[in-house]
Amino acid sequence: QQQVKQSPQSLIVQKGGISIINCAYENTAFDYFPWYQQFPGKGPALLIAIRPDVSEKKEGRFTISFNKSAKQFSLHIMDSQPGDSATYFCAASGNTPLVFGKGTRLSVIA
């Protein structure tokens, strides 16, 4: 049973466009929702994270939107750039180790 469901599996976006990746979770005990970015040959790195007491968090071009009642959260990348091409993972945790979504491979084309 997958605790965090992520979609889409892959995404192609034009340079300057908006990239949107969605995640849904089941466990209401989760209280921390990060997004990780992974480039080929590297380990994942924290991009941005949110806790359920806020509905949105923005850091530069990256925004997390969080809907507690729907148990969903999403990552929005504004003005997407070729350098954003990477694999993105949503994740969630409570008092337990992080569980990850299956990942989204984003390609930003010029």
Partner 1 sequence: EADIYQTPRYLVIGTGKKITLECSQTMGHDKMYWYQQDPGMELHLIHYSYGVNSTEKGDLSSESTVSRIRTEHFPLTLESARPSHTSQYLCASSKAGTSAGELFFGEGSRLTVL
Instruction: Considering only the stretches 19-27, 37-45, 62-70, 72-80, report the one whose residues sit in contact with partner 1 under the rule CB under 8 A.
Output: 37-45
Footprint of partner 1 on residues 6-35 (CB under 8 A)?
31-32, 34
Q: Verify binding: residue 5, partner 1, rule CB under 8 A.
A: no
Instruction: Considering only the stretches 14-22, 56-64, 75-83, 90-98, report the one whose residues sit in contact with partner 1 under the rule CB under 8 A.
Output: 90-98
User: Site for partner 1 (CB under 8 A): which residue of 25, 35, 73, 100?
Assistant: 100
Going by the DSSP 8-state scheme, the letter that residue 17 receives in this structure is S
Select from 110, 105, 84, 101 the least CA-distant residue to 26. Answer: 101
User: Site for partner 1 (CB under 8 A): which residue of 45, 54, 78, 109?
Assistant: 45
Cα–Cα distance, 73 to 89 (Å, whole number): 12
Buried b (16+ CB within 10 A) or exposed e, 51-84: eeeeeebeeeebbbbbeeeebebbbbbeebeeeb
3-state SS class at 3? coil
User: Site for partner 1 (CB under 8 A): which residue of 62, 66, 93, 108?
Assistant: 93
Residues in contact with partner 1 by the rule CB under 8 A: 31-32, 34, 36, 41-46, 49, 87, 89, 93-100, 102-103, 105
